[in-house]
Chains A and B, each alone.
Chain A
Amino acid sequence: MTDRRRNLFILLLVAGLLLASGWVIATKDTKLGLDLRGGVELVYEAKPTPQQPVVDAEALDRSIDVMRERVDRLGVAEPEIQRSGEKQISVGLPDVANADEAVDQVGQVAQLYFYDWEPNVIGENGRPSPNDVEVTRGGEGGQAGVSGGHPLYDALQIALKRPVVKDGNNSHEGLWYAIDEKDKKVLAGPQEQRKDVADDLEDKQKPRRGEPAELTAEQAGRAKIVEVKEGTTLVRCEEPDREGDEDRPKEDCWFVLADNVALRGTEIKEPEQTYDDGPGGSGQPVVSFKFSDDGRKTWERVTKEIAERGSRNFVPGSDVPTASHHFAIVLDDELISVPYIDFQENPNGIDAANGSQIQGGFTLDSAQELANLLKTGALPVKLELISQSQVSATLGEQALDEGLLAGAAGFGIVALFLLVFYRILGVIAVLALTVYSAYFFALVKLIPITLTLPGIAGTILTIGVAADANIVIFERVKEEIRAGRSVMAGLAAGYKKGLTAIIDANVVTIMVAFILFVLATAGVKGFAFTLGVGTLVSLFTAVLFTQAIVGTLGRSKLLSSPSALGAGKPRKPITFDFMGWSKWFFSMSGVILLVCAIALAGKGIDFGIDFESGTRIRTALEQKVDENRVREVLAGVELDGGRSLADAEIQAIQDPGIGPNAFQVSTEKLAPDEVTVVEDALDNEIGIRGSPNTQSIGPTFGQTVAESAIVAIIASLLVISVYLALRFEWKYAVPVLIALAHDLLITTGVYALVGREVTTSTVAALLTILGFSLYDTIIVFDRIRENVPRMPRATYSQIVNRSMSEVIVRSLATTFTAGLPVLALMLFGGETLRDFAFALLVGTVSGTYSSVFIASQVLTHWKEREPLWRRRRALIAGEHGGVVPAYATGGAAATVEPEEPRRPRRALTAPDDPQRGVSREEFDEMVRDLHADPPPARTAVKEPPAPAPAPREPERAPDADPSELYMKGDGGTDGKKRPPRKPRNRKHGRPR
């Protein structure tokens, strides 16, 4: 295919895709994440159960199916339920304002068990006493408040007396607790593993959000870890009717049961909420259900046994309910109901043909909730809520507006920069950026990619990446034109030579994005995906599309003048001694790191609640009050276990998205119902404007984020090292890693220094810095790699100096274009994006600095220890009175053009222009074949400061052995004389 046809094909393809993108953008909706549209996000961590001892992918998928069904029953449109990492499930519920209900419904395990009550209730002696009312509490069943159940610590003491009973009827294996025998308190548990209790104890010793730790080291030190052996279980008392008093904390009331399950939830079917409206019914909401065939038989047998015992227990004169025995319905270790079996009405047990019903002081909502839970079945794994956040729709809308504004500003600034610096080429680049933006937006809608705040940040950054690719090429084009090539030849050479660096840099970015996507947690995933897709699309638009335009316009007047491309005046060569000054740059980095290390150690890092665990409520208040008034209101709130909010951190905040009189309350992690209690208290006393934004993070969430980030960093470094070793040389990979460590540590240190809060967004930004820093370093290393064979008589430091002088403008420009969108994020991106942008800005500046002043210097120091480079250095120093000049001079400045790999000969094709006879590409190829490549390809050129004429050089750069250059005739490195080689015919491989 001729160049013209190829260009035409690409332009048509771009136009076609642009039309398709327009159609997609016009017809498809954008899927917005919860942070942009408002809603509830819940993150659960799966824990094993006796039925599912190992949390595997299949168990998580089954759980997701159950959860999806539950969410559907909640009536939530477009829920997002997905696996996140190895053991986490993230549930996004857009437009849901009530987190409590969502939490109750979605993540509850819903393990339902029926127990024969009297024979299984354990007394204080550790044994059951079916006929002892003091133990079974007779007609009161297991009701809290009236039953006289035991506090948890006492119940645990009873349970500890029990032996192991393994009869196949157990609901779980042994359970572990940590107790304080001195204060008679249960400190942690229950957990299925001893290790998990120990972990709980450790977590409780950490202070959260400035509040003292739940446990002191002394308390934790005297903690005793105990096991309730298999065959015994603890159940919380049945809560009395909570209608109108849902916020009341649950009572510390427990029963110890022999874990001898009579019937399981899996043996019931068709549960639904109905009313107890039969003869003599109370009219209260109940849950009715039917049994499976096996369940029916079991139910009839068990109820018959209970009825017979009641009948035997009956003393004439007493009433039936007092004499009757009971069965217990237990849902997730809480008694739902302990009804009796009327032995007079059902002497042979209850006929299960028509099913049965559960009564238990239900409200309409709680009965519906239970019916729904039973309908969807139990989750195969236990789910622990580790993070819960609620974003109001208003705040989401504002975040979206800010994100879009930051995007538009980023695009505008980058476009302006390109136009000023590259003129006509800048116009082409801006056109490419516009096409890129259209494609990207269409892909976001088509795939669809859920657009989140970090995702928008990723998108804005890809604008910078897309512009970077153009800058790399355009700087190369300008360089070639200034070196004496025609505009057309300069354009061709610029694209050809720039492409290698672009591909290397973008491949590394895509690899980092891929690793982040695979290994990182949900929030980072969205960012990584947009970054990866954006980089791929930008490769197409920034390289292929602009090349096609340039190729098409190449012969027009527009591109005929070098000044139209910004390459009019020859640039004054940069002669700064980068290597000579390296000691001072190193020292500067050393001082910065020293300050950072001292700040880190002295001030520490302000980890946000993402890592420290806790609850944060941000809300606008109706009345204008101060922090003291809010504290006063919160001090009156009583939480579970007698806890209070007296020590909560209260801050007045300015956030237009939340509204006027906005406050932020940070405290230890609160349960969803406790968050509601706090919100209600504020609403009743001061008045809440709109819906509050809440975030509750458990201790394991931050740990998971940090662990996944560390794994992602290590994996990225390994993959990048292998790639660099393959594409460059293994020694090039080490300075890159050192530069990366430099950038990550400086960014972390600056966070410590300025006391900014570290969130999961910061982690995402740190990981992004990896990509940026690499991008820049690869651009520099690519030029060093290119110059090494071109300067066969220069020292390594001279080669690096020259490479740096050639790429410094390009490097600064690419950093500038990457930095501009980041700056736009800082200025217009709102609170969340601003945090993200701050880390990126520090990382980008540090990344550029380390590529130019750290990585290259380390590489030079290291390479110059190799015998080859040591010999060259000694030789040059010998020639210059013991000093190696910063830039190669005289013979050492000579450059040779390495021979290009020969391409297979092709048949002549139809010319682009009939008057020309052959296509441009074919003409160039013929010129090369005739060894008549025009200067400067084969002519030695002088280094700008060097006046001496260049000596004749061999055709191929013999970088592998410089002694061949300097010791010709004296023999090789072994000192032996060799006959001169006969020149060989390049075409046929025979002597000429």
Chain B
Amino acid sequence: MGALAWLMMAIAIWHFTVFLPDRFWSGIVGAFLFSILGALAFGFAIHGLHVPGQDDTSLVTALEAVPGTALGLAVCWVLGVRSEAGEHRSDAFGRAA
């Protein structure tokens, strides 16, 4: 149940990435994957690789997904920016971007 709450929260937050410039690695789909991975990884990490069950899931469990999702999206963004920079460097050397 905890994992479902993390997943739902991550996807909810992902919906708001459309307000950011599309510089994510692999675009909106990359952001989708990284937000989910980030939320799940963070959740697992703070619960010691254990998923809270129905009785252990509370409002806090859902909020635990927020930093993970933000982290995942940040990683995706950095990867995207680096990838773009790589493309520009290629252009500078006259190769196809």
Contact of A207 among B12, B19, B55, B61 (CB under 8 A): B55
In the complex, chain B residues whose CB is within 8 Å of the CB of A421: none
Check A586 against B12 for contact (C-beta < 8 Å).
no
Whether A601 pairs with B28 at a CB distance below 8 angstroms is no
> For A926, what are the chain B residues with a Cβ–Cβ distance below 8 Å?
none
In angstroms, how far is the closest chain B Cβ from the Cβ of A540? 38
CB-CB < 8 A to B55: which residues of A? 207, 604
B16 beta carbon closer than 8 Å to chain A: yes
Contact of A602 among B11, B54, B59 (CB under 8 A): B59
Pick out which of these stretches binds chain B: A150-158, A275-283, A587-595. Answer: A587-595
Total interface residues in chain A, CB < 8 Å: 33
Which residues on A sit within 8 Å (CB–CB) of B29? Answer: 734-735, 738, 858, 862
Q: Are A600 and B5 in contact (CB under 8 A)?
A: yes
For chain A, residues 849 to 901, give those with C-beta under 8 angstroms from any C-beta of chain B.
857-858, 861-862, 865, 867
A586 touches B1 (CB 8 A): no
B54 contacts A607, CB within 8 Å?
yes
Which B11-38 residues have a C-beta within 8 angstroms of A?
11-16, 18-19, 22, 27-29, 32
Chain A residue, CB-CB nearest to B32? A738
CA distance A207 to B55 in the complex (A): 9
Whether a CB of chain A sits under 8 angstroms from the CB of B73 is no
Q: Quick check: is A741 within 8 A (CB to CB) of the other chain? A: yes
Cβ of B9 under 8 Å from chain A: yes
In the complex, how many angstroms separate the beta carbon of A345 from the nearest chain B beta carbon?
Answer: 64
Give the contacting residue for A861; candidates B27, B58, B59; CB below 8 A: B27
The reply to whether A604 and B8 form a contact with Cβ atoms under 8 Å apart is no
Chain B neighbourhood of A867, CB < 8 A: 97
Q: Which residues of A contact B40 (CB under 8 A)?
A: none
Interface membership of B7, Cβ < 8 A: yes
- A597: nearest residue on chain B (CB-CB)? B8
Write the nearest CB–CB distance from A616 to chain B, whole angstroms. Answer: 19
A706 to chain B, nearest CB (A): 12
Question: When chains A and B are docked, how far (Å) is the Cα of A861 from the Cα of B22?
Answer: 8
Residue of A nearest to B62 (CB): A601
Given contacts A600-B4, A734-B29, contact A586 B59 (CB under 8 A): no
Per-residue CB contact flags for chain A residues 726-745 toward chain B (1 = under 8 Å, else 0) read 00000000110010011001
Contact A586 B15 (CB under 8 A): yes
A-B contact count (CB 8 A): 86
Contact A865 B27 (CB under 8 A): yes
Task: Assess A741 versus B11: contact at CB under 8 Å? Given A587-B16, A605-B54.
Answer: yes
Cα(A604)–Cα(B55), bound, Å: 8
Task: Check A589–B15 contact: CB distance below 8 A.
Answer: yes
Q: Which of B5, B22, B32, B58 contacts A597 (CB 8 A)?
A: B5
Residues of A near B13 (CB, < 8 A) are: 590, 594
Quick check: is A73 within 8 A (CB to CB) of the other chain? Answer: no
Please, which residues of chain A bring their CB within 8 A of the CB of B62?
597-598, 600-602
Asked if A295 is at the interface (CB within 8 A of a chain B CB), the reply is no
Q: Does chain B have a CB within 8 A of A801?
A: no
- Which residue on A lies nearest to B2, using beta carbons? A601
Chain A CB within 10 Å, residue with most, of B27, B58, B60, B61: B27
* B15 contacts A593, C-beta separation under 8 Å: yes
Q: How far is the CA of A741 from the CA of B12 in the complex (A)?
A: 11
B12, B28, B57: the one contacting A590 at CB < 8 Å is: B12
Contact A748 B4 (CB under 8 A): yes
Contact yes or no, B22 A593, CB < 8 A: no
- What residues on B are CB-neighbors of A745 within 8 Å? 7-8, 11
Known: A593-B8, A598-B59, A858-B29. A586 touches B18 (CB 8 A): yes
Determine whether A323 belongs to the interface, using a CB cutoff of 8 Å to chain B: no
Do the beta carbons of B18 and A582 come within 8 Å of each other? yes
> Judging by beta carbons under 8 Å apart, are A594 and B12 in contact?
yes
Q: Specify which chain A residues have a CB less than 8 angstroms from the CB of B9 in the assembled complex.
A: 593-594, 597
Chain A residues positioned under 8 Å from B14 (CB to CB) = 590
Q: Does A583 contact B (CB under 8 A)?
A: yes
Q: How far, in angstroms, from A646 to B72 measured CA to CA in the complex? A: 50
Is there a chain B Cβ closer than 8 Å to A847's Cβ?
no
Check if A149 is an interface residue, CB within 8 A of chain B.
Answer: no
Contact A597 B12, beta carbon cutoff 8 Å: yes
- A590, B5: Cβ atoms under 8 Å? no
Which of chain B's residues have a CB closer than 8 A to the CB of A604? 1, 54-55, 57
Please state if B16 and A601 are interface contacts (CB–CB under 8 Å): no
Asked whether A749 is an interface residue with its Cβ less than 8 Å from the other chain, the reply is yes
Q: How far is the CA of A872 from the CA of B11 in the complex (A)?
A: 31
Contact with A along B28-72 (1 / 0, CB 8 A): 110010000000000000000000001101111110010000000
Asked whether A601 and B58 contact (CB < 8 A) given A586-B18, A858-B29, A865-B27, the answer is: yes
Tell me whether B27 and A601 are in contact (CB under 8 A): no
Which residues does chain B contribute within 8 Å of A438, judged by CB atoms? none
Residue of A nearest to B12 (CB): A593
Q: In the assembly, what is the distance between CA of A953 and CA of B14, in Å?
A: 41
* Nearest chain B CB to A868 CB, angstrom units: 13
A886 to chain B, nearest CB (A): 16
Chain B residues numbered 53-97 whose CB sits less than 8 Å from any CB in chain A: 54-55, 57-62, 65, 97
Residues from chain A with a CB closer than 8 A to the CB of B15 are: 586-587, 589-590, 593
| Contact digits for A197-227, partner B, Cβ 8 Å, 1 yes 0 no | 0000000000100000000000000000000
| Least distance between B60 CB and chain A CB atoms (Å) | 8
Residues of B within 8 A of A583 (CB): 18-19
Q: What is the bound-complex CA distance between A613 and B87, given in angstroms?
A: 57
Which residues of the partner chain B approach A586 to less than 8 Å between Cβ atoms? 15-16, 18
Can you name the residue of chain B whose Cβ is closest to the Cβ of A596? B8
CB distance from A419 to the nearest CB of B (A): 40
Instruction: Name, among B5, B9, B58, B65, the residue most crowded by chain A CB atoms within 10 Å (CB to CB).
Output: B5
Q: Is the CB of B18 within 8 A of A600?
A: no
Chain B minimum-CB-distance residue to A584: B18
Q: Least Cβ distance of A747 to chain B in Å?
A: 11
| A601 and B4 alpha carbons, distance in the complex (Å) | 9
The answer to whether A605 and B12 have CB atoms under 8 Å apart is: no
Which positions 765-813 of chain A face chain B at CB distance < 8 Å?
none
Residues in chain A near residue B54, CB distance under 8 A: 604-605, 607
CB distance from B47 to the nearest CB of A (A): 14
Chain B residue at minimum C-beta to C-beta distance from A857: B18
Which residue on B lies nearest to A601, using beta carbons? Answer: B62
CB-defined interface of A437-449 with B at 8 Å, one 1/0 digit per residue?
A: 0000000000000
* B13, B15, B58: most-surrounded residue (chain A CB, <10 A): B15
Q: In chain B, what residue has the closest Cβ to A589?
A: B15
Whether A861 and B28, one on each chain, are in contact in the complex, defined by CB atoms closer than 8 angstroms, is yes
- Out of A582, A593, A601, name the residue touching B61 (CB < 8 Å): A601
Shortest Cβ distance from residue A328 to the other chain B in the assembled complex, whole angstroms: 45
Which chain B residues border A605 with CB–CB below 8 Å?
A: 1, 54
Residues of A within 8 A of B16 (CB): 586-587, 590
Apart from A582-B18, A601-B62, list 15 A-B contacts with CB within 8 A: A583-B18, A583-B19, A586-B15, A589-B15, A590-B12, A590-B14, A593-B15, A594-B9, A594-B12, A601-B2, A601-B60, A602-B62, A607-B54, A738-B29, A861-B18
B residues whose Cβ falls under 8 Å from a Cβ of A = 1-2, 4-5, 7-9, 11-16, 18-19, 22, 27-29, 32, 54-55, 57-62, 65, 97
11 of the cross-chain contacts (CB-CB < 8 Å) are: A582-B18, A590-B12, A590-B15, A597-B5, A597-B12, A600-B1, A601-B59, A604-B57, A738-B29, A745-B7, A745-B11
7 nearest CB pairs, A to B:
A590-B15, A593-B12, A601-B62, A597-B8, A601-B5, A861-B28, A594-B12
Q: Which residues of A contact B (CB under 8 A)?
A: 207, 582-583, 586-587, 589-591, 593-594, 596-598, 600-602, 604-605, 607, 734-735, 738, 741-742, 745, 748-749, 857-858, 861-862, 865, 867
